[in-house]
Chains A and B, each alone.
Chain A
Amino acid sequence: MFLTDIRKEFYDVVVNQRVALFVSSDVDALCACKILQALFHCDHVQYTLVPVTGWQDLGTAFLEHKEQFRYFVLINCGANVDLLETLQPEEDTIFFICDTHRPVDVVNVYNDTQIKLLIKQDDDLGIPAYDDIFRDEEEDAEDSGNESDSNSEPSGKRTRFDEGAVERRIERQRAKREWEARRREILFDYEQYEYHGTSSAMVIFELSWVMTKDTKDMLWWAIIGLADQWVHDKITHMKYVTDIATLQRHVSRHSHHNEDEENSLSIDCMRICFEYDLRLSLYQHWSLYESICNSCYTTSSFKLWSMHGQKKLQEFLADMGLPLKQVRQKFNSMDISIKENLRDVIEESSNKYGMKDIRIQTFSVHFGFKNKFLAGDVVHAAAALLENVEKEENPSDNFIRALDSLSRSKLDQLHCGIELAKKKLIAIQQTVASCICTNLILSQGPFLYCCLMEGTPDVKLFSKTLALTLLCKYLLKSFVRSTRNKRCKLLPLIMTAPMDVEKGTVIVLGIPPESETSDKKNFFGRAFEKAAESTGSRTLHDNFDTFVIELKTEDRSKFLDALITLLS
């Protein structure tokens, strides 16, 4: 069931209890977790934090902890599957789910006792009405009672009653069949497309605001949660802008204290400001040139994988009057005179080159003399740390390091994350360039398909979901710009990359077609399930996002053939 008053029905319930926190491995969940941890610390709530990477992980963790805990809080996992069926908990266990995955499973919605959803009942949920899906069994019992009554009637009247009873039965069965067909249709429509809702970090921040315990740190984490949804392309532009406006109100509320001259705040205090900043990833921690070459928007607009594109970039820089030497330096060492009007200069020039949205609304944070970060920078850093493949560490260590990078006192983790993110972005761009130049993207009819082979450089990076998602999206954007085939521009993309060499599996990911007004709804989850069933391929649907699966390499071709037949 949906909770209406989060404070009374969630926080006041758990504040005196021991709670188990199961947190999924993405940046939005990390931020929500941080905010919740801060609230728990204030009130001395005992909790156990368990990072989970998939359904199997969630199941094992639940089995380990079910003896000790009655209250479980699940962040960014658990809403889109029948949880009680999967986990088989005891009668008195209560789950609080704060998840962005939609559609929410109908059993989770209509269960009143054990599942509490920390989700706002927006208009876009579209949940089917109760009566359309669940039917009471009593109606059948009544009619069978009538039947037995009518059978005990004296034999003289039997024929008439029998006819009546038989007619009624046939009528009932027909109605039941119709109802079931309609139910299947409604459920199919409801569960066909997957998408994401409001960021969990923002939901938990609202909880802290309602309790007036919100601080600037929590607001910053909520901003990072929203920025994560935008960087990984999980929500539509409209929704992003609306949520930015909501957060902007909170930011103004927190920053009006800074205004007067006499009582100015210490430089160490955190200042959050709204910025209408450039869409260049990590440009303040890199050189401007590198950032332009490795950001999706600019690379796909200039087509930087071709010689022609490189020349256009040089023209662009010359048009702005930026000397190459300056532009290749670290951003912080650029001349002040150039840095001052940089954003406006770039916006003007980029309009001439067809890049109308080079600027995006976002927030930046500023504390101490050296530390200035944009929300997008922190998202890239945390995501890179979460999926770090450089050292052989287990996922929980990566999770803890990524969680640390979000706190202000552990800036060295954040800088480490930024370096990793730079390497990741460079790897992504190189892979995109090579895929387009060698025409690795093939049209299979209803979708585009690209397969990363074993020996590709940096392919280990792409065995992880977030990195592969970014690669897919950048690849599709660039492909749409580079191809002349009008039909191909409207197709979705499926990508496979080697996941585990020993087990011989590949990771398969599908994303919806690229368009300006895309509603980001992904139908590949159901498609993959059906294709796997029909071909008997050995697949593992372990990820919380159902459009990512693991597949045995040998079954790849028959799986793809099944998908082609399914989707055409």
Chain B
Amino acid sequence: MDPSEVEFLAEKEMVTIISNFSLDKMYLIGGDLGPFNPGLPVNVPLWLALNLKQRQKCRIVPPEWMDVEKLEEIREQERKEETFTPIPNPHYMELTKLLLNHASDNIPKADEIRTLVKDIWDTRVAKLRLSADSFISQLEAHAKLDNLTLMEINTTRTFLLDSLNSMYKLRASLQPQPAAKGHHY
């Protein structure tokens, strides 16, 4: 999967916006988009929120977890634990990037949030790499990957699968074969 595909999937997340126009309720295939009234908050998918923001038709309210203290706590916890800690949103990385690129004037302390989220990401991906490394080298049969987000899995997916495949082929070619017919390849 391409990271841009993961980002596309992340755009389905709901965020709160405060619109400055009014529109009746819209009925789309994916769900209903509530009536828009100026000055009143409404929940919409991220793709719509970003489009409206770029057309200056709304103000985006930062999600609850996008707060300096909360993120600092999460970062400390992540650094202490060996396994992956639960994180507030399964698409935190994509949300942070999109919101901070397009709506940083609506988000207080945007620079610190960007640094904190990057720290959390770095810690988690480092743990993932360690875990993948030991998985392959020690030929473990299963690993516990709770609380991983799609974006993080995506970074290691191709590498992990390809290396496991190669290991399997190497191991398979070591064992004596009953019939000398052409195998997988």
Contacts and interface: CB of A to CB of B under 8 A. Distances in A.
Interface of A: 41-43, 212-213, 215, 257, 262-269
Given A212-B20, A264-B109, 11 more contacts: A41-B55, A42-B56, A43-B55, A257-B105, A262-B108, A264-B108, A265-B105, A265-B110, A266-B100, A266-B110, A267-B111
B104 A42 contact: no
B57 interface: yes
Contacts of B20: 212
B127 to A, nearest CB: 29
A15 to B, nearest CB: 13
Closest 9 CB pairs of A and B: A266-B110, A263-B108, A42-B55, A266-B104, A266-B111, A269-B105, A213-B56, A42-B56, A267-B111
29 contacts: A41-B55, A42-B55, A42-B56, A42-B57, A43-B55, A212-B20, A213-B56, A215-B56, A257-B105, A262-B108, A263-B108, A263-B109, A264-B108, A264-B109, A265-B104, A265-B105, A265-B110, A266-B100, A266-B104, A266-B105, A266-B107, A266-B110, A266-B111, A267-B111, A268-B104, A268-B110, A268-B111, A269-B104, A269-B105
Contacts of B100: 266
A520 B36 CA distance: 52
Interface string B83-124: 000000000000000001000110111110000000000000
A221 B104 CA distance: 21
A262 B109 CA distance: 8
Interface residues of B, number: 12
B105 to A, nearest CB: 5
A215 B107 CA distance: 17
A212 B57 CA distance: 10
Nearest to A43: B55
Contacts of A268: 104, 110-111
A255 B137 CA distance: 57
A2 to B, nearest CB: 28
B183 to A, nearest CB: 54
Nearest to A38: B56
Contacts of A212: 20
Contacts of B56: 42, 213, 215
A376 B38 CA distance: 39
Interface-central residue, B55, B56, B110, by most chain A CB under 10 Å: B56
Nearest to B20: A212
A215 B100 CA distance: 17
A43 B56 CA distance: 10
A41 B56 CA distance: 10
A257 B105 CA distance: 10
Nearest to B114: A266
B54 to A, nearest CB: 8
A41 B53 CA distance: 12
Contacts of A213: 56
Contacts of A41: 55
Nearest to A263: B108
A261 to B, nearest CB: 10
B50 to A, nearest CB: 14
A263 B111 CA distance: 11
A41 B57 CA distance: 12
Contacts of B105: 257, 265-266, 269
A506 B56 CA distance: 48
Contacts of B55: 41-43
A209 to B, nearest CB: 13
Nearest to A264: B109
Contacts of B111: 266-268
A39 to B, nearest CB: 9
A265 B113 CA distance: 12
A136 B100 CA distance: 65
A268 B111 CA distance: 9
A344 B119 CA distance: 44
Nearest to A211: B56
A145 B20 CA distance: 65
Contacts of B107: 266
Interface in B23-78: 55-57
A215 B102 CA distance: 14
Nearest to A215: B56
A268 B103 CA distance: 11
A43 B20 CA distance: 14
Contacts of A262: 108
A265 B109 CA distance: 6
A265 B104 CA distance: 8
Nearest to B101: A268
A269 B100 CA distance: 11
A40 to B, nearest CB: 11
Nearest to A44: B55
